[in-house]
Amino acid sequence: SRVRPFRLQPTLVGTLVLLSIASAVVLPGCSDGRARAAGSVSLDGQPVTKAGPTRAYVTFQPVGGGPTATGSIDESGRFTLSVGSKNSLPPGEYRASVRVCEVTPGQGGYSNTKTVSPESYASTKTSGLVFQLEPGSNDIAIELTTPNR
């Protein structure tokens, strides 16, 4: 009697198992229930970007308590929030603050920082900025206005 070599036959179940393993490798974190947040900031209708001495920082503090998420504006005017080294955070309601500054060289290697955004936006307690982050991707547009303008 002749021995036949063992061959794997493709089956629907086998194909589904392979697809689920492949999607777990290719799409990590897509269904982890956490929120990812990125966006832009404008001041009096003008986009805020990291250009020359201008820098901008965004902070999101969870209303119910927990770790603070932060991000800085890049050259394209975008920020991505992170908590430590993680670019995701728990979904929920957040109070936000934004500080737009001009940083210039100072004496002795120190920098001089001048805030150019209204001071009320620099604190989550006074900014009036509240956002609801949902699981998955969140695109946030933060619009700041100067009083009496």
Spatial separation of the C-alpha atoms in residues 84 and 72, rounded to whole Å: 13
pLDDT in tens, the chain (149 residues): 565 554 545 554 444 444 444 444 444 445 489 999 999 999 999 999 998 888 999 999 999 999 999 999 999 999 999 999 999 999 999 999 999 999 888 887 778 888 889 999 999 999 999 999 999 999 999 999 998 76
Residues 6 or more apart whose CB falls under 8 angstroms from that of 21 comprise none
* pTM for this model (two decimals): 0.74
